[in-house]
Amino acid sequence: MDFSDTPEEAEFRASVRKWLEANAQRARGTSGRFTGTGTDDIGAAKAWQASKYEAGYAAITVPEVYGGRGGTPIQALIYRQEESAFAVPTGVYEIGLGMCVPTVMMQGSDAHRDRFLVPAYRGDEIWCQLFSEPAGGSDIAALRTRAVRDGDDWVINGQKVWTSGAHFADFGILLARTDPTVAKHKGLTMFIVDMKAPGVDVRPIEQMSGGAEFNEVFFADVRIPDSDRLGAEGDGWNVALGTLMMERMSAGQGFGFFGATEVLELARKTEIGGRPASSDARVRERVADWWINEQGLKLLSYRAQTALSKGELPGPEQSVNKAIEAPQAQEIAYFARQLRGQAGSMDGEEIDEDWVHVDRSWLWAPGMRLGGGTDEVLRNIIAERVLGLPGDVRVDKGVPFNQLTS
Catalytic residue check, 247: yes
Judged on CB neighbours under 10 Å (0-12, 13-18, 19+), 206 is: exposed
**Cα–Cα distance between 333 and 263 in angstroms, integer?**
8
CA–CA distance, 129 with 257 (Å, rounded to integer): 23
Pairing of strands 153-161, 214-225: antiparallel
Task: Name the phi and psi angles at 231, rounded to 5.
Answer: 85, 180
In the set 82, 213, 247, 294, the catalytic residue is 247
Cβ distance 166 to 130 under 8 Å? yes
Distance CA 252, CA 300 (A): 8
CB 381 within 8 Å of CB 296? no
CB atoms within 10 A of CB 51: 16
The CA-atom distances, in angstroms, between 158 and each of 135, 239, 265, 373 are 11, 20, 49, 22
Distance CA 396, CA 406 (A): 13
d(CA 158, CA 177) in angstroms, rounded, equals: 10
Greatest alpha-carbon pair distance for the chain in Å reads 76
**Distance between CA 121 and CA 125 in Å, rounded?**
8
What is the Cα–Cα distance from 314 to 302, expressed in whole angstroms?
Answer: 11
Helix axes 260-269, 281-309, angle to 10 degrees: 150
Asked if 267 contacts 339 with a C-beta cutoff of 8 angstroms, the reply is yes
Q: How many CB atoms lie within 10 A of CB 298?
A: 12
Report the relative pairing of strands 271-272 and 188-194 from DSSP bridges: unpaired
Which residues are catalytically annotated? Answer: 247
